[in-house]
Amino acid sequence: MLTPTQGAVMFDFENLEVYKKAKTLNKEILVFLRDNKQIDNYVRDQLKRASISIVLNIAEGSGKFSKPDKSNFYTISRGSVYECVSLLEIIADDNNIEQKKFDYYKSQYETISKMLMGLIKSQNTAKK
């Protein structure tokens, strides 16, 4: 795995804890999907896209200059969190995920959702 080298340029989003957490969870979700071929291909693709969307929208939002623009991308990212949880419930309904793993993922998404809500509120309450 490639890692930043000492003295390498870092982008603002790389310092956000929510970005780090979302990126780690995305990696876990991609492994889960790769290892569970019995999951419907449409559901698999949607979960993959939604999980990646969380990470990408945090990164894109951090690069925006206006607070409303930042807030919009963080809100989109939070919507993708909700989409992931819903998709995991669909996977659980098909008995294609262990309860312990489902609970773990749902807990991680809840934490990310709360962190994003904090970012959204900070953009909406900060001086414009």
**Which residue range is the domain that position 18 belongs to?**
13-125
The series of mean pLDDT values per 10 residues for the chain, 128 residues long, is 67 96 98 97 98 98 97 98 98 98 98 98 79
Task: List CB contacts of 107: < 8 A, sequence separation 6 or more.
Answer: none
Helices (H), the chain: 17-35, 41-62, 67-93, 99-125
Q: What is the reported pLDDT for 104? A: 98
Is the distance from CB of 48 to CB of 83 less than 8 angstroms?
no
Q: Would you state the pLDDT for residue 60?
A: 98
pLDDT of residue 53: 98
In a domain, 5, yes or no: no
| Residue 6 located in a structural domain | no
CA distance 117 to 115: 5
The structure's pTM equals 0.91
Q: List, as own/partner pairs, every contact residues 6-14 make where C-beta atoms lie below 8 angstroms and the sequence separation is at least 24, other chains included.
A: 11/59, 11/62, 11/63, 12/62, 12/63, 13/58, 13/59, 13/61, 13/62, 13/63
* Domains: count for the chain: 1
Structure tokens at 101: 């793993």
Q: Is residue 3 part of a domain?
A: no
